[in-house]
Amino acid sequence: MTVHPPRLRRGLPPVRSQPFERLPHTGRTMVLTFDDGPDPEYTPGILRTLRRYDVRAMFFVCGEMADIHPDLLRALADDGHVIGNHTWSHPLIPQLAPSEIRGELGRTSEVIEQISGLPPLWYRAPFGAWNRHSFEIGAELGMEPLAWTVDTLDWTEPGTGTIVSRVLDGAGPGVVVLSHDAGGDRSQSVTALRHYLPRLLDDGYRITVPRR
């Protein structure tokens, strides 16, 4: 009889009381993040631009979207992007019982791992609404909480030029930029990326992703 060794799991990170809002940096590094997807209408356009410039980003996906669009999740993983957990159904976490938070995060982590082959190491609370239970449960699931430094507010559809200006004006070492690739009409977000990404690179920024 063949005996297989138990699968090694990553250790639990510390339980945070606040999410990371920027990341430790070496030189002029920035992180681009996209929430709420994957979405077949907008995520592919973002992927095309990232491929064009050979840049990696973070995608905080909702489990229900990943479950519906597994091919897109695989495309994110195949391109080397970091896939984070953004809960299953995008609820307001402080209104949930701990068991419901565990279900939202745990179910999403399972789907991400099943489809991409890797469990998520980062998570983000919808609306940036964290609480003690979310930090504790996230740590139990092996994930660190990541917020953002620059909010493009692209969900308000302020215009492509405004999104571009917010990213460029907020650029700086260690900055984490929040955008969206689902949850509404994200055509402005897709177009804005095509404009601000080459300008960031021309300005000497290295667009990177955290590795743990």
Q: Which active-site residues does the annotation give?
A: 35, 180
The total number of residues written for the chain in this structure:
212
Q: How far apart are CA 119 and CA 83, in angstroms?
A: 9
Please compute Rg for the chain using Cα positions.
17
Picking from 181, 151, 177, the residue whose alpha carbon sits closest to that of residue 61 is 181
Q: How far apart are CA 25 and CA 87, in angstroms?
A: 27
What are the CA-CA distances from residue 125 to residues 85, 130, 163, 173, 197 (Å)?
Answer: 9, 6, 22, 23, 25
Q: How far apart are CA 15 and CA 62, in angstroms?
A: 22
Q: How far apart are CA 180 and CA 60, in angstroms?
A: 9
Residue 185 DSSP SS3: coil
Half-sphere exposure of 158 (CA within 13 A, CB side): 14
